Structure 1
Amino acid sequence: MCFFFLFSFFFPGGFQVKVCGAIQYLNLVGVAIGYTIAASISMVAIKKANCFHSSHQKDPCKVSSNPYMIMFGVAEILFSQIPDFDQIWWLSIVAAVMSFTYSTIGLGLGVGKVAESGKIKGSLTGISIGTVTETDKIWRSFQALGAIAFAYSYSLILIEIEDTIKAPPSEHKTMKKATLISVAVTTVFYMLCGCFGYAAFGDLSPGNLLTGFGFYNPYWLLDIANLAIVVHLVGAYQVYCQPLFAFVEKTAAEWFPESKFISRDIEIPLFGFKSSYKLNLFRLIWRTIFVIFTTVVSMLMPFFNDVVGILGAFGFWPLTVYFPVEMYIVQKKIPKWSTRWLCLQILSVACLIISIAAAAGSFAGVVSDLKVYKPFETSY
């Protein structure tokens, strides 16, 4: 608990708010990179599936992920010009439907493969020693903790979502109910997909479950699932990046209040609509640069599992555990050294240890990948 006490003592509340914001926005940048990599993997999977089908499995069908990252980046440049967070509600709904679609397909294929083979692969202790070394197994276990933490990264935009909810009832009551339902449904799907995926593939389970069923049977169903992933990530990218966009643009307006480049909107009429689109040059240029940056970084480091693990490890403890716990203690006026206070601190420290372990495992994975990696030449 030494780290916690030192952090609380040397960095008072106001500074901690700034630290929380910095970590949040760095994580949002990382999420954009992770989503770009994930979307390209699914687009490559679609290409490979169709290639295998047309060549009757005779062509190895090596496909570079770079063109697909660029395609995803171009789409995000267009969608990034949506001005505000509350104007992407429709995109969020589409993304949610797509998420349910590919999760259901992945679960169904996992159950079907287990039923077809009649046996459950894998073991309760994970990849067997011999297939990997003891050290690799430890690192991969730690990396998996980071991936699990990343899967619950909604805390990054929890407040922004709450800010768009109408009242009454009060926002926090609506959000509490929505969070309970969404986390419960998400956990059920994640557990089922993970367990049946591991039962189907055992030690050979891929990072993207939908690429493990073979690229040709049933290739059309896998195409639908991977396309749903791509559409989902197009929307999710915007949901996570809009708070960062708004922060930068608000800060720029405060620093340069007289700048017409930052504040001026150009009215562009939309044919068939009564309203017009307000084009802001600063928003157009800076958001385009941001998307280009995340796309280039994704092309430089296309290590999906490792990147996801690092992001999960980096953001899980401070944003999902430490700051919420501290706010809860202050709000409820829980006295120091009380049983409740001690339990919350033990929870916080335990999650900190998990985050450190996850970060170590993910960085070890990146180091291993870099040994055989060539920039901009990744293919699947």
Structure 2
Amino acid sequence: MAPEFQKNAMYVSNELENGDVQKNFDDDGREKRTGTLLTASAHIITAVIGSGVLSLAWAIAQLGWVAGPAVLFAFSFITYFTSTLLADCYRSPGPISGKRNYTYMDVVRSHLGGVKVTLCGIAQYANLVGVTIGYTITASISMVAVKRSNCFHKNGHEASCSIESYPYMIIFAVIQIVLSQIPNFHKLSWLSILAAVMSFTYASIGLGLSIAKASGVGHHVKTALTGVVVGVDVSGTEKVWRSFQAIGDIAFAYAYSTVLIEIQDTLKSSPSESKVMKRASLAGVSTTTLFYVLCGTIGYAAFGNNAPGNFLTGFGFYEPFWLIDFANVCIAVHLVGAYQVFCQPLYGFVEGRCSERWPDSKFITSEYAMQVPWCGTYNLNLFRLVWRTTYVIVTAVIAMIFPFFNDFLGLIGAASFYPLTVYFPIEMYIAQRKIPKYSFTWVWLKILSWTCLISITCCSCWIDPGTCH
């Protein structure tokens, strides 16, 4: 047991007689949680609605009018359903009064144990690292797009307007170094709410511009039930690769299970955390699905099979340039918050393990109170300062070295979607509820799990069988 928890637990034990503990601490001896349905929904929306919403027109173009929306709705249903199973596993052995689990790995350890804990950690933290690198690249692209938009407006749409993204990656990293000193998820609500507002704003702008373009006089683009046409728009190999990438992008767009438990751990205990988390998941997933379908289908109608990878930073639109600028600023601000939502679980994991490994190290455990103007008292921890700063710098350097990293982010998302969003929640739910083997519930949950696995690996063939010869 970690020293901090032991200390808090003893304090709780001593104070129970006085009846004061309920005012300051939860049932696990930690500081009382204050999260609500609003803050949890904001965290989810910040995690789910990424700038990837602006690339869904491209994804629909690869899959077509039938498979594109079908894949979107399928992933949204699966994500919501399995998130309700995962929410019930936050406490163990029971979802209402069991022991709290603070991280996804803790949940897997409590319900499944063994090598599955290690496999979960690899999938979760590899995904989180990949996301933070990808967000560094995407945020810099949005910042560059503002400069390019002004350049195109001034010099014409044919101007080269080539601008390096490296300075903007550095600016983004500096901002993240400062924000990374926010201790944990509990102190992150204001940033998530701001980021969620920004995501709605730029998604709405992109949607509005797409509607204007699609309804314009003389607007004619080529679309198809199966998307881009083999032999006309792309080769057979390109069709397969793009279909996989499109499915990966959609899967990645719904992948917030990596941070679900950490979000749930911020909620007040009354009403029960699982009940509030299920409502937050419903609000977050339904809201994002509405935006995804609208942006994807209307964007496809506006651009057809030639839809750009991102119709704001890829300049599907040039005018009004000031609105494009504002939308790209909103993307950058949103990614500032989203970066923190995804890296906080990683920060907490490393810091928790180091505290357990070296409990007597003052460098790791000691905190120093500092007065920050307009912000009150801040508890500075030297290890947190050094480790988080190092992490941000490393991810920024990787982003600079591999600016094409985003091309593989969809595949990372697809690879981690199944274990984290489908497999582990189903297996843990079966273990927690002690569902009998070969019972009706056990069979259909297993069918769902296997169907998702097969679908993710084989969907490209189903979308266009002719490409799989």
Shift of 1:312: 1.0
> 1:185-264 to 2 correspondence within 5 Å?
185-214=287-316, 216-264=318-366
Equivalences for 1:1-380 in 2 at 5 Å? 13-57=113-157, 59-116=159-216, 117-119=218-220, 121-129=222-230, 130-214=232-316, 216-272=318-374, 275-303=376-404, 305-356=406-457
> For residue 90 of structure 1, what is the amino acid of its counterpart?
W
Distance 2:304 2:272 in 1: 46
Tell me: CA distance 1:353–1:305, structure 2 relative to 1, closer, same or farther (3 Å): farther
Partners of 2:416 and 2:172 in 1: CA distance? 25
Distance 2:315 2:309 in 1: 12
**What is the CA–CA distance in structure 1 between the aligned matches of 2:316 and 2:337, rounded to whole Å?**
27
- Equivalent pair of 2:133/2:396 in contact (CA under 8 Å): yes
Classify 1:58/1:133 alpha carbon distance in 2 versus 1 (closer, same or farther; 3 Å).
closer
How many Å separate the matches in 2 of 1:67 and 1:261?
A: 32
Q: Is the 8 A contact 2:369 2:378 kept in 1?
A: yes
Query: 1:295-346 deviations in whole A, cap 9, x for unaligned?
Result: 1111222236523212211210000000001012122322222333222222
Calculate the aligned-residue CA RMSD, in Å: 2.0
Supply the distance in 2 between the matched residues of 1:304 and 1:123 (Cα, whole angstroms): 30
Q: Distance in 2 between matches of 1:278 and 1:338?
A: 53
Distance 1:231 1:272, change over 3 A: closer
The alpha-carbon deviation at position 214 of structure 1 amounts to 4.5
- Give, in whole Å, the separation in 1 of the partners of 2:124 and 2:459: 18
Report the residue type matching 1:174 in the other structure: V
How many equivalent pairs are there?
348
Structure 1 position 207, deviation (Å):
1.6
Unaligned runs of 5+ in 2: 1-111, 462-469
Alpha-carbon distance in structure 2 between the residues aligned to 1:31 and 1:306 = 12
Contact 2:311/2:317 (8 A) holds in 1: no
Distance 1:56 1:106 in 2: 22
CA distance in 2, matches of 1:238, 1:42: 18
Cα distance, 1:277 vs structure 2:
1.6
TM-score (norm 1): 0.87
Q: Output the amino acid matched with 2:260.
A: L
Q: Is the 8 A contact 2:137 2:406 kept in 1?
A: no
Distance 1:304 1:118 in 2: 34
CA–CA distance in structure 2, aligned partners of residues 184 and 223 of structure 1: 28
Q: Deviations over 1:173-223 (max 9, x none)?
A: 001011011101101100110111111112221221213454531111111
Measured against aligned partners, the alpha-carbon deviations of 1:22-65 in whole angstroms (never above 9, x if no partner) come to 32112111110111121112112111101111223453101222
- With structure 2 as the length reference, what TM-score do the two structures score? 0.71
